[in-house]
Amino acid sequence: MTTKFDYIVVGAGTTGCIIASRLTEDPGVQVLLVEAGGSDRSMFITMPGALPFVYQNKKIGWGHQSGPEPQLDGKRVEEKAGKIIGGSSSINAMIYNRGNPMDYDGWADGGLKDWDYAHCLPYFRKLETFEEGPDSFRGGDGPVHISRARAEHKLYRAILRAGEQAGFGVTPDHNGYKQEGFHVAQSFIHNGVRMSASRAYLRPALRRPNLRVLPKRLVTRVLVENGTAVGIEVAAQGSLRRIHCEREVVLCAGALNTPKLLMLSGVGPAGELRRHGIAVRANVPGVGQNLQNHPGIDLQYGTRYEDSLTSELHMLGRAKLGADWVLRRKGLGTTNFFEAGAFLRTRDDVDFPNMQYEFLPLTRKLVNGKLVPIPGFQFWMDLSRPESRGTVTLRSPNPADAPVAVFNHYESRQDMQDMIDGIRLMRDRVVRQPAIAQFNPQQLNPGPDMDSDRDIEAFVRKSTASSYHPSGSCRMGSDPDAVVDSEGRANAVAGLRIADASIMPKVITGNLNAPVMMMAEKIADRVRGRQPLAPSDAVYHRADRHTPGD
Give the active site residues. 469
Among candidates 250, 289, 234, which has minimal Cα distance to 13? 250
Tabulate helix, strand, coil % of the chain (nearest 5).
30, 25, 45
Q: Measured between alpha carbons, how far is 136 from 549 in angstroms, rounded to an integer?
A: 24
Q: Measured between alpha carbons, how far is 22 from 353 in angstroms, rounded to an integer?
A: 34
Partnered with residue 229 across adjacent β-strands are 224
Among candidates 508, 485, 498, 516, which has minimal Cα distance to 18? 516
What residues contact residue 100 under an 8 Å CB cut-off, 6+ apart?
179, 180, 343, 352, 353, 508, 509, 510
Contact 390, 291 (CB under 8 A): yes
Q: Measured between alpha carbons, how far is 325 from 332 in angstroms, rounded to an integer?
A: 8
Contact 286, 133 (CB under 8 A): no
**3-state helix/strand/coil string of 485-546:** CCCCEECCCECEEECCHHHCCCCCCCCCHHHHHHHHHHHHHHHCCCCCCCCCCCCCCCCCCC
Could you give the 3-state DSSP secondary structure of residue 75?
A: strand
In angstroms, the Cα distances linking 126 to 134, 268, 387, 392, 528 are: 11, 34, 32, 33, 16
Q: Measured between alpha carbons, how far is 271 from 88 in angstroms, rounded to an integer?
A: 32
Contact 473, 262 (CB under 8 A): no
Contact 6, 29 (CB under 8 A): yes
Burial class (CB within 10 angstroms; exposed 0-12, middle 13-18, buried 19+) of 511 = buried
Cα Rg of the chain, angstroms: 23
Q: What values do phi and psi take at 299, rounded to 5?
A: -100, 110
What residues contact residue 369 under an 8 Å CB cut-off, 6+ apart?
none
User: Judging by DSSP bridges, how do beta strands 404-406 and 228-236 pair with one another?
Assistant: unpaired
Contact 134, 140 (CB under 8 A): yes
